[in-house]
Structure 1
Amino acid sequence: MTVDELDRERLAAWLAGQSLVDRPEALVVDPISGGNQNIVARLGDGTRRMVLRRPPRIVPDGRDAAMEREFRLLTALEGTDVPHATPLALCTDHDVLGATFYVMSEVDGWSPAASMFWPEPFAPEHGVAPRRRLALELVRGLATLSAVDWQARGLTGFGRPDGFHERQVDRWTAHWDRFRFRDIPGLTEAGAWLRENVPSRWTPGIMHGDYSFLNVMFRHGPEPALAAVVDWEMATVGDPVLDLAWLMRQWPARAEDVHSRYVDYTGMPLRDEMVDIYRELTGNPLDHYRYYQVLANFKLAIVLEGGYARYLNGEVDNPKVAHYNDSILDAGRVAAELVAGA
């Protein structure tokens, strides 16, 4: 399903019933670039601009519930320092668009995922200082999220922090077994090592689950500031340090590697400095950080393998998913190397 296939009349009527549009007959629905796993569209009737998120054409198991979880989390973040889109309405009636979806405010900002050419002064040719501050703002956003009092925000039951790490290997292996069609080199060794190296002490907090430059937006203008963290479909209450390891998995460790990833990291702090900055911002000593690195790669390989399996089965339309294979094998390799180096 594409945005063009959405039933605009039903959508317009539902939006009017929620008092979100004044002129349903004038509703405009435009696709938004980015988002390989969901349908994301901009809505407007000439007076108000919103964004809709709906599962893909073939709705994977659990994705309707994931939409409800995203909406619940956005609601819980209202009034916190975490920049986010304002949740407006949730629809669980499949007669409207065939799946659960929700509508939120449109964020006024720019997305690093939308273009290879970032606006001034953040393009590489415009100097080092602005890009460094952009990276600092990214890691500061992650630290801010980790500090939210999730219980006070009504998120008890949103995740299961008790036994979080003890469940990780079994949880992700069970997920993998739903679509497994091959072995991924390195994951057996990584899984066995993770079971034996569970952190003894850690502090539960809100996890985004897929935090990176691709899932944030920045405010327009020369001063780097997060406008919103987006794409909360993997969020839970767990160990926020895993978010850091997830973000750092793609981050260059050496100056000669700044051009070799999906983002040009020219002028930004290298991986070790970013980890140190997070440590300073949060006061977390980051004990057992290698464990988090291994788990991030273990989890990433399985998450991407799920999308790749659906692509091979014809359940995903986005051709970008065809390129997941290299990243899957790379994550397995890195996990095994980290275990061997431990």
Structure 2
Amino acid sequence: MHSVPDGVEVVASREEARRLDSPPLLVLDTVTGFLDAHGIGSGPLAWQRIGDGQSNVTYLIERGGESVVLRRGPRPPLPKSTHDMVREARIQKILGEHGVPVPEIIAVCEDASLLGVPFYVMGRLDGTVITDKIPPHLSPVEQRRATSEAVVDTLVALHGIDVTRGEVASLGFPEGYLRRQIERFRGLWEVNTTRDLPAVELIGDWLGRNLPTSQAASVVHGDYRMGNLMFAPRAPARVLAILDWEMATLGDPLADLGYLTATYSEAGRPATPLELTQVTRSPGYLTQRRLAERYQRRTGLDLTPLPWYQTLALWKAAIFCEAIHTRWKRGERPHDTSFGPSLASGVPRLLERAGQYAGLTAATRR
């Protein structure tokens, strides 16, 4: 682990932070003071950045034998209504009381003056996030299948929570969710792109014309994929926690299923930038179709309109990836040497795949 400042990402003191042109992500004396105020550990701290961090940023903090995780948004300026760490922490507190596997929220800082943005501290979990390597304890073929099944079953349980009463009901307004998603992401494209990709408007129009009727209302995670799940460190496959709740709200549960299946890596299918857990291309994991069938058996929902939701998922993904690409082009992601530049071609690939689900393939290539 690091225990010294690392360039402009982490500095030791507020004084050092004030001398920088671009604010750091972590100021060690400020974080130390916050931990002191909440009785978290003692003495000097060590830090390590964890996760892929394409949007929000997460650090493992060790101090005096205690380990916690600090999560914050990227450097300002931030688009309106995004990277709301206070809301994200509140969502996890509420859902944790309903049995949803989430990290324990220990402390929340609403004061943006400390690190430039609000942040929160959560308990560290001893588990495994699956991305580009299969953990040895989940490598046997029966555990690969069990891993895929746990992904579906955890989503089914999340979608089974009653959203009509208690604090859960305050997390959003499910009526009109799908149309609001289309309108919101149209607006995000207009402010976050520097190029002309006609497929964005074409697919957005198609989504609006073919809007399905929502069959149910549920908590919608908004970024539900295997890479946002932490699995127990020993077999059998079991989800310890669902991570990354920034986009969660109340809405149509098939939006989560559409995103899960459309971004899921499967042998024989071309890759997109959103296939962040490549291991499911290996033998033993359920296919996209099998994932959907398992979900349907457990919920009873009609999956006939699933291609619409898969189109929506990849269209939205293309738009938020374009925002990352634009930030990279502006020099706002100085340490990003691979993901940001890859989106020059990655965003059009996402749009082409979205067009395939919508039956608009030829048109999206123009």
Say whether the fold is shared (TM-score over 0.5).
Answer: yes
Query: Quick check: 1:208–1:232 contact (8 Å CA) kept in 2?
Result: yes
Per the alignment, in what secondary structure is the counterpart of residue 302 of structure 2? coil
Report the counterpart of residue 231 of structure 1 in structure 2: 244
Deviations 1:155-196 (A, max 9, x none): 334323121122232211011111222232422222122112
Q: Which stretches of structure 1, 4 residues or longer, exceed 6 Å deviation after superposition? A: none
Q: How many Å separate the matches in 2 of 1:29 and 1:38? A: 16
Quote the Cα distance in structure 1 between the aligned partners of 2:315 and 2:345. Answer: 14
Shift of 1:256: 3.6
**Matched letter for residue 32 of structure 1:** I
1:29-60 deviation line (CA, Å, top 9, x unaligned)? 22224222222111222332110011123341
Can you give the 5+ residue segments of structure 2 that lack an aligned partner in the other structure? 1-7, 12-23, 362-366
2:91 is equivalent to residue 73 of structure 1: yes
1:294 aligns with 2:311: yes
- What pairs up with 1:299-338 in 2 under 5 angstroms? 299-317=316-334, 318-319=336-337, 320-338=339-357
Note the C-alpha offset of 1:332: 1.0
Query: Which residue of structure 2 aligns with residue 184 of structure 1?
Result: 197
Q: What TM-score does the superposition give when structure 2 sets the normalisation length?
A: 0.84
CA distance in 1, matches of 2:37, 2:235: 40
Moved more, 235-244 or 332-341: 332-341
2:92 and 2:105 in contact (8 A); partners too: yes
Instruction: Describe the shift of the 1:292–1:154 C-alpha distance in structure 2 as closer, same or farther (beyond 3 A).
Output: same
Alpha-carbon shift at residue 257 of structure 1 (Å): 4.2
Aligned to 1:2: 9
Aligned counterpart, 2:20 = none
**Cα gap change, 1:185 to 1:336, in 2 (>3 Å):** farther
Asked if 1 retains the 8 angstrom alpha-carbon contact of 2:76 and 2:117, the reply is no
**1:245 is aligned to 2:258:** yes
Instruction: State the match for 1:18 in structure 2.
Output: 38
Does the CA-based 8 Å contact 2:82-2:246 persist in structure 1?
no
Verify the 8 A CA contact 2:38 2:107 in the aligned structure 1.
yes
The 1:341–1:305 alpha-carbon spacing in structure 2 relative to 1, beyond 3 Å, is: closer
Q: Distance in 1 between matches of 2:75 and 2:179?
A: 34
Q: 1:148-297 alignment to 2 at 5 Å?
A: 148-252=161-265, 255-257=267-269, 262=276, 263-265=278-280, 266=282, 267-297=284-314
Residue ranges of structure 1 left out of the alignment (5+ in a row): none
Give, in angstroms, the shift of residue 2 of structure 1: 2.0
Aligned letter for 1:98?
Answer: G
Q: Following TM superposition, by how much is the alpha carbon of 1:305 offset from its aligned partner in structure 2, in angstroms?
A: 0.8
Q: Is the CA contact (8 Å cut-off) linking 2:314 and 2:350 kept in structure 1?
A: yes
Q: Is the 8 A contact 2:325 2:343 kept in 1?
A: yes
Alignment match, 1:120: 136
Q: How far apart are residue 139 of structure 1 and its match?
A: 1.2
Q: State the superposition RMSD in angstroms.
A: 2.3
Q: CA deviation at 1:330?
A: 1.5
Q: Distance in 1 between matches of 2:46 and 2:158?
A: 33
Shift of 1:237: 1.2
Tell me the residue number matched to 2:124.
Answer: 106
SS at match of 1:15: helix
Aligned mates of 1:326, 1:248 — CA distance in 2: 22
Query: Which structure ranks higher in relative contact order (CA pairs < 8 Å, sequence separation ≥ 6)?
Result: 1
Give the Cα–Cα distance (whole angstroms) in 1 for the partners of residues 89 and 181 of structure 2.
Answer: 24
Q: Given the superposition, is the C-alpha separation of residues 36 and 65 from structure 1 closer, same or farther in structure 2, using an over 3 Å criterion?
A: closer
Greater alpha carbon shift after TM alignment, 63-72 vs 41-50: 63-72
Give me the whole-angstrom Cα distance separating, in 1, the residues matched to 2:50 and 2:161. Answer: 29
Judged with a 3 Å threshold, the aligned counterparts in structure 2 of structure 1 residues 332 and 18 are, in CA distance, closer, same or farther, namely same
Letter in 2 for 1:264: V
Q: Which residue of 1 aligns with 2:359?
A: 340
Q: Is the 8 A contact 1:54 1:101 kept in 2?
A: yes
Q: Give the match for residue 21 of structure 2.
A: none
Closer/same/farther in 2, CA of residues 195 and 286 from structure 1, 3 Å limit: same
User: 3-state DSSP class of the match of 1:228?
Assistant: strand
SS of equivalent to 2:60: strand
Match of 2:146 in 1: 133
- C-alpha displacement at 1:321, in angstroms? 2.2
CA distance in 2, matches of 1:176, 1:336: 17
The letter for the 1-side match of 2:135 is: P
Q: 1:130 to 1:180 in 2, by over 3 A?
A: same
In 2: Cα distance, 1:128 partner to 1:258 partner:
24
What is the rounded CA distance, in whole Å, between the counterparts of 2:143 and 2:115 in structure 1?
42
Could you tell me which residue of structure 1 aligns to residue 61 of structure 2?
Answer: 43
**Quick one: which amino acid aligns to residue 118 of structure 1?**
I
Distance 1:204-1:71 versus aligned 2 partners, 3 A rule:
same
After TM superposition, the score normalised by the length of structure 1 is 0.90
Partner of 2:71: 53
Identity of aligned residues (%): 28
Residue 201 of structure 1 and its aligned partner are, at CA, apart by 3.6
In 1, the alpha carbon distance for the partners of 2:181 and 2:158 equals 21
Cα contact 1:3–1:30 (8 A) shared by 2: no
